[in-house]
Structure 1
Amino acid sequence: MHGRARSSGTSLAWPTDARITSATWRKRFTRRLAISDTVLLVVITTILWFALPVPAPVDLAVNIASMVVLLLALTLMRTRTTEVIGIGVREYKRVVDAAALSAGLVAVAIMIFEVYDSRQELLIFYPTALVVLLASRWLWRRWLLAKAAQGYALSQVLVVGGTEDIAYVVRQLRKNAEAAYKVVGLLADQECNEKLVSIGVPVHQGLDSLERAVEDTGADSVIVAGPLEGGNTALKDLSWRLERTRTNVVVVSSLTNVAGPRISTRPVEGLPLMHVEMPSFVGGHHVVKRAMDIILSSIALVCLAPVIVVLALLVRRDSSGPVFFSQVRVGQHGKTFRMYKFRSMVVNAEAELERLKALNEGNGVLFKMREDPRVTRVGTWLRKYSLDELPQIYNVLRGDMSLVGPRPPLPSEVEEYRGHTGRRLFIKPGLTGLWQINGRSDLDWEESVRLDLYYVENWSVTGDLMIMWRTFKVMLKPEGAY
């Protein structure tokens, strides 16, 4: 799997046994997941059995049935397929769905067989099992990411398409999905250039060399990065040719802002139809989001009150001026509100902005400087660890913001919006979001907008919880915070 390419112009050789190694390693990993799930559920069932004050045979039967049904649900819900493990939230969501399904089935069985005394064990087993399984999957993902750093991946892929499409797909895979997909080769359907060669993997040219590229690189999957020169006919021909090599075909959708849960297919005779659900900006799940905001922000304000008091004293002692800084931002549907932060700059920072604009290191629309002279001594590490944003929890409780959402823009930024950028304002801005866990100030404007629009179109409660978790990790190891 880890053979090195040998330079030979634009076509570089790769060990032909890489495919076998990759497929074997992938099967071995999914088998480990299955064994891990089984062992953990057996341990939980055993502990609950011995923890019962007066265990009865019926209790043991219910616990064993709960375990077996959950294991079957984990398999039926495809929680261990390579399409979901390693990246994104779909793996975790499927585990939650499997637990909910199996709990419902066992609860119905308890009612049918009238073993009501075992309901207590049921209420203990499933929450415990869910937490343990999610923690286990997270640990396995950490292990998988560590293996990815050593060159392992669940699938070794050959990326096919035009130069710009290939470069974009490779960049996104390397940034977000190296544990799932390792790029081992490129195939330009037109003339390739130095941009592809600089990626550092074997490069082939022309769809005529497809089979040779697959064999040389040992790829077990081919990603079609965008429209091919020959159109749909070329794509159909490519998929038929790859049948002989037993290579999977993955097509990058042109609907780049649409996530999987919104896409479904309905085959009609000779015409596969892709259905894309309309994004929802109102409704029950937004009520759940608001309820989560109120509950979590209330708990956070109470728990963090001592920290907020200490930080306020440090800000007051460090430099003259108010403890808090407020600024008008634009919220949902263009409604303005006043956002609060700990003051991390000198009092006359706004007046100094015009003098410093020529030194802007931001993404063009936003002003950012790595060594901004207006930042105070305490403000430097407040901004580095995002502690200056803690007062925004109050904005969340008030309803101006959400815990997770697009970045809250300034009115001057909104005036610069063009095209569909204004869709960022369809939902409430967030205390954190995809922009914060993917580089913050290091992002260019286009990437920042793309992440915000993706979130607006595809947010979910499970996704919000994942973003919150990743935010804690980013706060400990900050990137792009200045």
Structure 2
Amino acid sequence: MRHHQPDNSATGLVRRPTAAPRPIGRRETSRWYPPLAVAADVSGVFVPVLTVYGLAAEPRPLAAAAVATVSWVTVRVIHHRYRPRSLGETRGLLPTVHDWLIFLGLLAGLRAVTGEQSAVASALAALLPSLLITATTGALIHRHLLAQRHRAQAVRRVLVVGEPGPVDEVTAQLAARTDHAYVVIGTVLVGDAGELTSGVPEMGRLPAAVDRSPAIPDLIPEGPDGSTVLAAARRQDADLVLVAPGCLLTGERLRRVCWAVQDAGLRLAVASGLSEVALRRLTVSTAAGLNLLHIAPPLRNGPQPALKSVLDRVAAGVALVALSPLLLTLALAVSLDSRGPALYRQTRIGYRGTPFTLWKFRTMVADAESRRPELEGLNEHLSGPLFKIRRDPRVTRLGRFLRRTSLDELPQLVNVLRGQMSLVGPRPPLPEEVARYGAVELRRLGVKPGITGPWQVSGRSDLSWDEGLALDLFYTDNWSVTGDLDVLARTFRAVVDGRGAY
């Protein structure tokens, strides 16, 4: 998913909602999401099964279509796929595949119990459209919701409570992207020192120390802290109170603020301070009354990395054989288009800093490297070690087409087959780029580089260095085989779109 730049308006980092104020606790989304999802699931099963069974002269096509439809909708309902609050929050591709496999298992069980005798090929042909239609519908709803979020609609109005430093960090993180539901509309600061730098309106301030006088709970049931927070939430019509704990807001004081907020019927969330950690790596436990957040380590050893390596090499080998006519055609075209070899090789840095030779179809003139110093002043990535020019004069006519379609990357299948690269991973850096890396940047070398990856499917060269680095670091720490499949599915759209390919 594409990262969006922070709002450059007078409010600095704050996305300002354009919709009319909403009642507390309500998040508005399009009401047609659930009906559309149900209609797509029903039609995606009933119509294909009825059509295929009718054309194949299978017995009882109407009954088969009805049973399959009810089974598919039941699986989706059990997994809460039609909840308004969850629809559109993700593309839903992997959950759809998961549901569809369960759906096939359920129908296989019913087939065994009832003795249904339709041809297996007919059944699979009739059921495959349900996977495609449901996945496409989920992607369309997701894109529509993202478009609403980009306009600060279908959001939850958030009041952030905490000390100025943590509040600024939380606010900046939420404002840097628009692919989530939260928009900060006010803050309540804790302590007498410090001011916000984000431009978010301050709606109140809690003292550094809480008054323990026994008279206060009698006069103000929610306590002085809770009273200030609730007054600010009501004044800003907040849907959610987000607490950023610190040394001045912890323990019993934090507990009382939580009581006050929840007793008033407001939703409450507490920022853990963690960022860029996949949800699947987090678990919660309790010990001695403390709520503990456990973080699973990144996948470095075990069955998933082994499976990834096997899938990479098998897929690369099959692709090289299947695409050999195309590869030969492109090699001939590159040789005829401009003087020089068809293939271009370059030293890149791979897994754990190991150098390797990367192969690509040549997209530049033969003396491109010697001409680079004279073009340094035109580099559009001044914030990092990358060297990119949108209209690089060294790129050939055919090279522009190859870059836009990513066909120049196909020879890297050889690198994947040799185990130097993966199908999915961070962009393989140049040695001079790695020479400028710090400890944070070096972490992206903890996995094999990939032909495609989060950088490639999120805008490629249109991304700043910091945005690309954030994507690569998130992938390095949170990759999984299912996540790789998701990136591969998104790669096709990125190639067709061609955005950022230069």
2:79 is matched with which residue?
A: 77
TM superposition shift of 1:71? 2.2
User: How do 1:226-241 residues align onto structure 2 when only pairs under 5 Å count?
Assistant: 230-231=249-250, 235-241=254-260
2:145 is matched with which residue?
A: 144
Distance in 1, Cα, partners of 2:247 & 2:47: 52
Per-residue displacement from partner, 1:254-300 (whole Å, max 9, x unpaired)? 33232011212234562323232222223333344344434544554
User: How do 1:397-412 residues align onto structure 2 when only pairs under 5 Å count?
Assistant: 397-412=417-432
Query: Which of 437, 449, 452 lines up with 2:472 in the alignment?
Result: 452
Distance in 2, Cα, partners of 1:20 & 1:107: 47
In structure 2, the CA distance between the partners of 1:83 and 1:22, relative to structure 1 (3 Å rule), is closer
Kept in 1: contact 2:276–2:474 (CA 8 A)? yes
TM superposition shift of 1:172? 3.8
TM superposition shift of 1:364? 2.6
Helix, strand or coil at the partner of 1:173: coil
Which of 460-469 and 297-306 deviates more?
A: 297-306
TM-score normalised to structure 1 length? 0.79
1:183 is matched with which residue?
A: 183
- The answer on 1:391 being equivalent to 2:394 is no
2:117 is matched with which residue?
A: 117
In structure 2, the CA distance between the partners of 1:20 and 1:255, relative to structure 1 (3 Å rule), is closer
Q: How many residues align?
A: 461
Which of 132-141 and 120-129 deviates more?
A: 120-129
1:336 is matched with which residue?
A: 355
1:4 is matched with which residue?
A: none
Kept in 1: contact 2:89–2:145 (CA 8 A)? no
TM superposition shift of 1:455? 0.8
Which structure is higher in helix share?
Answer: 1
Kept in 1: contact 2:425–2:451 (CA 8 A)? yes
TM superposition shift of 1:151? 4.7
2:199 is matched with which residue?
A: 196
Which of 463-472 and 223-232 deviates more?
A: 223-232
Residue type of the alignment partner of 2:198: K
1:274 is matched with which residue?
A: 293
1:37 is matched with which residue?
A: 41
In structure 2, the CA distance between the partners of 1:43 and 1:236, relative to structure 1 (3 Å rule), is farther
2:173 is matched with which residue?
A: 169
2:205 is matched with which residue?
A: 206
User: How do 1:304-315 residues align onto structure 2 when only pairs under 5 Å count?
Assistant: 304-305=323-324, 307-315=326-334
Structure 2: unaligned runs, 5 residues or longer: 1-10, 207-224
Per-residue displacement from partner, 1:62-111 (whole Å, max 9, x unpaired)? 6644433332222222333466543445x333332233334334434544
Residue type of the alignment partner of 1:19: P
Distance in 2, Cα, partners of 1:39 & 1:390: 38
- The answer on 1:345 being equivalent to 2:381 is no
TM superposition shift of 1:24? 5.6
TM-score normalised to structure 2 length? 0.77
In structure 2, the CA distance between the partners of 1:356 and 1:40, relative to structure 1 (3 Å rule), is closer
Which of 127-136 and 296-305 deviates more?
A: 296-305
For the aligned residue pairs, the C-alpha RMSD in angstroms reads 3.8
Distance in 1, Cα, partners of 2:297 & 2:454: 21
Which of 402-411 and 241-250 deviates more?
A: 241-250
TM superposition shift of 1:470? 2.8
User: How do 1:287-326 residues align onto structure 2 when only pairs under 5 Å count?
Assistant: 287-294=306-313, 296-298=315-317, 300-301=319-320, 304-305=323-324, 307-326=326-345
Query: Which of 238, 259, 275 lines up with 1:256 in the alignment?
Result: 275
TM superposition shift of 1:408? 0.9
Distance in 1, Cα, partners of 2:32 & 2:249: 38
TM superposition shift of 1:407? 1.2
In structure 2, the CA distance between the partners of 1:221 and 1:35, relative to structure 1 (3 Å rule), is farther
Residue type of the alignment partner of 2:136: A
Kept in 1: contact 2:45–2:126 (CA 8 A)? no
1:95 is matched with which residue?
A: 96
1:467 is matched with which residue?
A: 487
Kept in 1: contact 2:18–2:152 (CA 8 A)? no
Kept in 2: contact 1:79–1:95 (CA 8 A)? no
Residue type of the alignment partner of 2:411: P
1:3 is matched with which residue?
A: none
Helix, strand or coil at the partner of 2:265: coil
